[in-house]
């Protein structure tokens, strides 16, 4: 009997411990299971690809990127505010303090016409503050100094520098400012050019219905206008003042002031 027990013990010793554990059932302590789970989690995490958040882009200038910078001539002209109220332009309107001071100086002018136009510009600026599609911002003198504008004397140069600094665009009615801005790599939109682009395009042979309002340079010519202000010169219509006529376009001439249509009576 002792020999049989000894033989059984030797057989058990020769069986691997893992097999014996499997036969008897695996029993791990909660602490061991926690440590094992932690190690597995670290291993899995180390093999996963890492995703890094890209650094936030720094705002250019003073935070007025892509804003619209208003020139004194465009403010006094006033047509750009009609475009704004239509909702065509949205975003931020920026007015540098030098432009505002220039506008106030015009409003205080002894010249009656200049004074009226300057005051009209200030009234339009006050109204545009209430527009929901745009936000009017005035760059203070402190901000002009921080941008380096204190070293610039001319108002036009300050406006171009500010627009370039903030990657903005300029709205103006000044032809020279438009060209100067273009040379400096700044987009400048001339309101007069915009108005001409939006005018009705007529071609030779097209029939139009107009009212003859006054005589032309030639004593035989009559002159009428389309709804957008385009001038139509009608041959042999000097005696048709106040009457509405059907005319056919004979030629179109492009001038610096816009298009002029020449036509004949039907």
The CATH number of residue 251's host domain is: 2.40.50.110
- Same domain for 103 and 191, yes or no, is yes
Residue 24 covered by a domain: no
Report which of 253, 235, 246 is spatially closest to residue 196, judged by C-alpha positions.
Answer: 253
Query: What span, in angstroms and rounded, lies between the C-alpha atoms of 70 and 68?
Result: 6
End of a domain among 197, 215, 243? 197
Give the range among 20-24, 155-159, 240-244 with minimum mean pLDDT: 20-24
- pLDDT recorded at residue 69: 95
Query: What span, in angstroms and rounded, lies between the C-alpha atoms of 159 and 224?
Result: 39
- Same domain for 72 and 168, yes or no, is yes
Residue 75 covered by a domain: yes
The CATH number of residue 184's host domain is: 3.40.50.1010
Strand order in the sheet with 169-172: 134-139, 91-96, 68-70, 169-172, 187-190
Residue 208, SS3? strand
pLDDT band, very low/low/confident/very high, at 78 (cuts 50, 70, 90)? very high
For 232-259, write each residue's pLDDT tens digit.
Answer: 999 999 999 999 999 999 999 887 767 8
8 Å CB contact between 225 and 261: no
Secondary structure (DSSP) of 135-188: EEEEE-HHHHHHTTGGG--SHHHHHHHHHHHTT-EEEES-HHHHHHHHHTT-EE
- Same domain for 231 and 190, yes or no, is no
- Same domain for 148 and 253, yes or no, is no
- Same domain for 110 and 215, yes or no, is no
Share of the chain above pLDDT 70, in %: 71
Residue 60 covered by a domain: no
Total domains present in the chain: 2
- Same domain for 84 and 188, yes or no, is yes
The residue count of the chain comes to 266
Q: Does 8 have pLDDT greater than 80?
A: no
8 Å CB contact between 195 and 79: yes
| Predicted TM-score (pTM) of this structure | 0.63
- Same domain for 238 and 189, yes or no, is no
Which residue range is the domain that position 247 belongs to? 207-265
- Same domain for 190 and 216, yes or no, is no
- Same domain for 143 and 254, yes or no, is no
Residue 1 covered by a domain: no
Q: Does 211 have pLDDT greater than 80?
A: yes
- Same domain for 105 and 219, yes or no, is no
End of a domain among 143, 176, 197? 197
Residue 133 covered by a domain: yes
């Amino acid at each position: 009997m002792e020999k049989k027990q000894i033989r059984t013990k030797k057989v058990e010793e020769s069986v691997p411990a893992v097999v014996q554990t499997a036969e008897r059932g695996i029993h791990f302590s909660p602490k061991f299971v926690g440590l094992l789970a932690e190690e597995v989690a670290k291993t899995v995490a180390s093999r996963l690809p890492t995703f890094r958040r890209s650094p936030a882009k720094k705002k250019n200038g003073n935070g007025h990127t892509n804003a619209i910078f208003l020139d004194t001539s465009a403010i006094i002209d006033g047509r750009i505010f009609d475009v704004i109220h239509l909702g065509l332009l949205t975003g931020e309107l920026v007015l540098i303090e030098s432009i505002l001071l220039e506008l106030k100086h015009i409003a205080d002018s002894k010249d009656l016409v200049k004074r009226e136009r300057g005051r009209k510009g200030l009234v339009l600026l006050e109204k545009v503050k209430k527009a929901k599609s745009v936000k009017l911002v005035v760059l203070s003198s402190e901000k002009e100094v921080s941008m380096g504008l204190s070293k610039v004397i001319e108002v036009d140069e300050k406006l171009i520098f500010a627009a370039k600094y903030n990657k903005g665009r300029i709205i103006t009615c000044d032809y020279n400012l438009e060209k100067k801005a273009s040379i400096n790599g700044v987009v400048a939109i001339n309101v007069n050019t915009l108005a001409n682009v939006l005018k009705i395009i007529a071609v030779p042979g097209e029939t139009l219905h107009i009212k003859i309002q006054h005589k032309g340079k030639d004593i035989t010519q009559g002159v009428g206008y389309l709804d957008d202000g385009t001038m139509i010169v009608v041959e042999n219509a000097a005696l048709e003042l106040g009457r509405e006529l059907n005319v056919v376009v004979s030629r179109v001439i492009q001038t610096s002031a816009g298009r002029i249509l020449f036509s004949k009576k039907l």
